[in-house]
Amino acid sequence: MVYVKIIITCGNPLLLYFRMYGLYACINMLLYVYITCAVHFKMNFVKRLSESPDLNSIPSIYTYSTNPNESPVSNSQDSIPTIDFSLLTSPDPSLRLQVIQELGDACKDWGFFQVINHGVPEDLMNMVVEKSNEFFNLTDDEKKDFEEKDVLDPIRYGTSFNSKKDKVFCWRDFLKVIVHPEFHSPNKPVGFSEIMLEYSKRTREVVRGLLNGISMSLGLDQCCIENTLKLESGLQIFVVNLYPPCPQPELAIGLPPHSDHGLLTLLINNGVGGLQIKHNGKWVNVNDTFPGSFLVNTADHLEIFSNGKYKSVEHRAIVNNVATRISVVVANGPSLDTVVRPAYELVDEERCPASFVPMKYREYLEMQQGNQIVGKTCLDRVRV
């Protein structure tokens, strides 16, 4: 239908062009129009853009303006809490109690902590980063099958955050794969799928242990979060972020300030810094963390379930002009069909009424992933 319209509207000018310049020029002109359209509708990945030989400045679509009144970024990261995961199963009850208390404090005061002694082999973590990098190094043709179409597609290779909605583009390409309750994975590069499956299982165990501890820190049963939010069929999304070197890093943003949608997010990276978290209203750099540790942040559904006791932390990723940064993020949430509301035990009609309206996790996810991402505005939509 569209083609018919184009032919009808273009028919006469095309004929005129053909009469004036001949067949050869006419074919050339059509080819030019075709290529221009193809380039325009193709996804503009930043990896490819950053590899252009003469790139000295960024295209204006990547110009991101930060708030000029924002206070300077602090490096006071020494105080970022550290949780020793092995103590959660210590035979000594006083050590268990202590680490649960520390976990609760970390969620309340920071919404962010690093986890050590978690039992996931460092080799596996390194392989995950390495294989993820190999994915981005596949040819455009090999990656094409995975280009995103819909926000709940199990495998999505894309750029920015939501390239259909974003007014300013993020200096970031990504791969997002749903790995639980059903496991998916791209079939390339070789070995990626096996590594991803193992990593998904091992990280789910860490998340389960942490959420059990967090449950107790809220004064709930150890398995309250696990059972109420049906973690056995919980959603787990494996995300790789690729931030190539950017010629004007101060003008661009890797990922703008946002909070994550699930319960807890685990992050590792290739040793290049860029993550910043908001703590007491100020941005803090997260650079030097223990090698082999997980960086963990609280997400929106923990804020909802805890009735606001543990807030989801706002964070962002900045870029640099020297090295490519890769982060591998595992987002862990309730099962998609769970209607999430504040835990009954934490709500008191008079003294502590529910701060959030109930919403199905699937609907929340579609709302967050289908829009531009702006701070905590998505969570604000379900706030009472």
Residues that bind Ni ion (CB under 5 A): 260
Measured from the CB of residue 328, what is the shortest distance to Ni ion in angstroms?
A: 12
Give the largest Cα separation in the chain, rounded.
91
DSSP readout, 316-334?
EE---SS--EEEEEEEE--
Among 215, 307, 327, 332, binds ligand OGA (CB under 6 A): 327
C-beta of 336 vs 373, nearer to Ni ion: 373
- Distance CA(216)–CA(82), nearest Å, equals 18
Residue whose Cβ sits closest to Ni ion: 260
Helix (H) or strand (E) holding 279: strand 275-279
- Distance CA(204)–CA(148), nearest Å, equals 25
The one-character DSSP state at 288 is -
Q: Is 13 exposed, middle or buried (0-12, 13-18, 19+ CB in 10 A)?
A: exposed
C-beta of 143 vs 278, nearer to Ni ion: 278
Measured from the CB of residue 2, what is the shortest distance to Ni ion in angstroms?
A: 39
C-beta of 239 vs 252, nearer to Ni ion: 239
Measured from the CB of residue 175, what is the shortest distance to ligand OGA in angstroms?
A: 11
Measured from the CB of residue 329, what is the shortest distance to ligand OGA in angstroms?
A: 4
Closest CA to 236 of 310, 328, 314: 328
Q: Do the strands 82-84 and 112-116 form a parallel or antiparallel pair, or are they unpaired?
A: parallel
When asked if residue 46 is in the footprint of ligand OGA (CB under 6 A), the reply is no
C-beta of 228 vs 265, nearer to ligand OGA: 265
Which among Ni ion, ligand OGA, none contacts residue 311 (Cβ within 5 to 8 A by kind)? Answer: none
| Per-residue interface string for the shown chain with ligand OGA, residues 214-243, x marking contact by CB under 6 A | -------------------------x-x--
Among 263, 329, 330, 346, binds ligand OGA (CB under 6 A): 329
Residue 293 near residue 114 (C-beta atoms within 8 A): yes
> Which residues are at the interface with ligand OGA (CB under 6 A)?
239, 241, 255, 260, 274-275, 315, 317, 327, 329
